[in-house]
Amino acid sequence: MLAEITREELTAVLEGVVMDLLAEGRIERPPVDAVRLAESLGMTVALDDCQQGRARFVRLGGHGGGRQRDTILLRPDPRPERRQWAVAHEIGESVAFRVFDALGVDPREAPDAARESVANRLAGRLLLPGEWFAADASGCRWDLFELKRRYATASHELIARRMLEMPPPVIVSIFDQGHVSMRRSNGPGRVPPLSAAEIECQKTAHDRNRPHHTYDGLQTVQSWPVHEEGWKREIIRAEVEEGF
């Protein structure tokens, strides 16, 4: 099953399926509007106040027994990025079979967890396509706010997590109300404790509500405040220099 497939092979297939979908939807540059993409792919997106989850993919019958239509039922949400993610996820669910086919896996034999994982991976890549994101991120030196302006339909957190799927080796940390809520690395080995430079960058962004960066001879550290009324979040990216 998927456990036997290399990370590189899975990534290549996921990115290929995403680029095919964007081409079919005639989307040639960011930001990717998942609702527009779904409609371009022949799906209907409809609001459903009764939805328990954020969204659900169904096939609804036409009037008088006409042709069934692929439909995404979307729960209203005040955050547009959540709506975009929900629709992107359901697109991923609907085309997950393409990934399994490309990998030579029978989708009927794939466990639910594998299908859900594929849908999640496709959703993140639909909003932040690897080919575009890697070039744009490198071009702006991984500036989170600049990337958010370009990829407006993706949340700050999704953009930060996508950084972990790209070279070079980095550590991404998220602070909520002054406490670490996520800390991950795409490098080998265990994630090290917070460095003095990371702590200083987070504190500056938290206290002054503005981006901050520093270099301590080992790491290039960037921090961005994502502050709302009543809630303070900071996102920290630490890149270790080669040779250390």
Q: How confident is the model at residue 68 (pLDDT cuts 50, 70, 90)?
A: low
What does the pLDDT read at residue 224? Answer: 98
Q: Which of 129, 124, 125 is nearest to 30 (CA)?
A: 129
The answer to whether the pTM exceeds 0.75 is yes
* pLDDT for 189 beyond 60: yes
Q: Kindly state the average pLDDT of the residues 127-149.
A: 97
Report the interhelical angle of 7-24 vs 130-139 (nearest 10°): 100
* pLDDT for 244 beyond 90: no
* pLDDT for 41 beyond 90: yes
Higher pLDDT, 3 or 86: 86
* pLDDT for 32 beyond 90: yes
What does the pLDDT read at residue 2? Answer: 62
* pLDDT for 133 beyond 70: yes
* pLDDT for 5 beyond 60: yes
Higher pLDDT, 46 or 162: 162
The rounded radius of gyration (Å) of the Cα atoms in the chain is: 20
Lowest mean pLDDT among 52-56, 91-95, 175-179: 52-56
Domains of the chain in start order, with CATH, are: 2-131 (1.10.10.2910), 167-240 (3.30.450.40)
Q: Per this entry, what is the length of the chain?
A: 244
What does the pLDDT read at residue 65? Answer: 55
* pLDDT for 85 beyond 90: yes
CA 87 to chain centre: 13
Q: How confident is the model at residue 154 (pLDDT cuts 50, 70, 90)?
A: very high
Q: How confident is the model at residue 121 (pLDDT cuts 50, 70, 90)?
A: very high
Q: How confident is the model at residue 71 (pLDDT cuts 50, 70, 90)?
A: confident
The rounded percent of the chain whose pLDDT value lies above 90 is 73
3-state per-residue secondary structure call for the chain: CHHHCCHHHHHHHHHHHHHHHHHHCCCCCCCCCHHHHHHHCCCEEEECCCCCCCEEEEEECCHHHCCCEEEEEECCCCCHHHHHHHHHHHHHHHHHHHHHHHHCCCHHHCCHHHHHHHHHHHHHHHHCCHHHHHHHHHHCCCCHHHHHHHCCCCCHHHHHHHHCCCCCCEEEEEEECCEEEEEEECCCCCCCCCCHHHHHHHHHHHHHCCCEEEECCCEEEEEEEEEECCEEEEEEEEEECCCC
What does the pLDDT read at residue 78? Answer: 84
- CA distance linking residue 159 with residue 145, whole number of Å: 10
Which residues lie across from 185 on neighbouring strands? 171
- CA distance linking residue 22 with residue 29, whole number of Å: 9
Mean pLDDT of the chain: 91
